[in-house]
Structure 1
Amino acid sequence: MTTPAQPTQVWLTQKTFARLSAELEDLKGPRRQEIIERISAARDEGDLKENGGYHAAKDEQGKIEARIIQLEEMLANVSTETSADDHTVSPGKVVTYRYAGDDEDEVFLLGAREIDDDHEIEVFSPQSPLGAALLGAAKGSTVDFDAPNGKTLKLEIVDAVPFQE
């Protein structure tokens, strides 16, 4: 018998956590009620087979319910704790790296993609190819990265520091 997969902990900034929590409350409250009222009004119009308003409202209801489930799962497994300043790549860190033989630094934040809406820094999740390759690497180390194009690239970790809002 296999055990169910453990939910993956998601790292969010405090600002993103607050934004997503507010979105969840809005979806579960006013937005859900509005859709229920639209479905009810469309039902009152009669024949549902040819009622475009009814079908549009039902489609929107499905999207809202799916987003509610997504947000509830994410927020149930969230961490907003600042990572230790140990210069090791982990969620919640701003990672600076460069391709071997190149002197141009690249920078990204390792965390949930939902953070992108709140900050100008590029965000990669720990499950992304780049995030997974660099996860756990320490400052000064070189890591092999299997790029999506099939090439193996060498990346040097320049630094990994806790994200500051």
Structure 2
Amino acid sequence: MKPIFRYILVVFAVATLLTACGYRNPYYYSGPNRSIYVKTWPNRTNILLLDSKLYQSLIKWYQKAGSLKITKDKEGADYILAGEIVSINLPSLTYSGTNTTTEVNIRLKVRYILKDLKTEKVLIEVPSETWTEEYKVSANASETRDNATEALEIIVDELSQKI
């Protein structure tokens, strides 16, 4: 068999396998069109604007769902998502030989509830959930602050994606 025919056969086989594998996009919602009202979560921590960052991240992920329409009016919504940023903790993780911290864990504790407003049925209720992300501590305070901010952004994005 000539090399060009082998190449075409391989491309055809791969294309056939990929289209028949049953892959689907997990972020695609194919149910009836629904609307969701997302409340701004109270922020019980000392991190300013953390509630705003979480709200914006939640909105971004729900907009990716397609059929779930974000609404600013609670009365017209099918679902409501409410929650609270309970606490943030920064325990040291590892120490160097000079007994100084080299890594810190950010632990963000939240609670939330997703409720169907039409039936008053609670769809998801999480009374306490802790998210952890580690970051490096540097001799440079600005670099350490940037590392902590990046770790917190990772937590917010992963939490939003899960909900």
TM-score by length of 2: 0.28
Structure number with the bigger relative contact order (C-alpha 8 A, sep ≥ 6) is 1
Question: Which structure dedicates a bigger proportion of its chain to helix?
Answer: 1
Question: Which structure dedicates a bigger proportion of its chain to strand?
Answer: 2
TM-score by length of 1: 0.28
* Bigger-Rg structure (1/2): 2
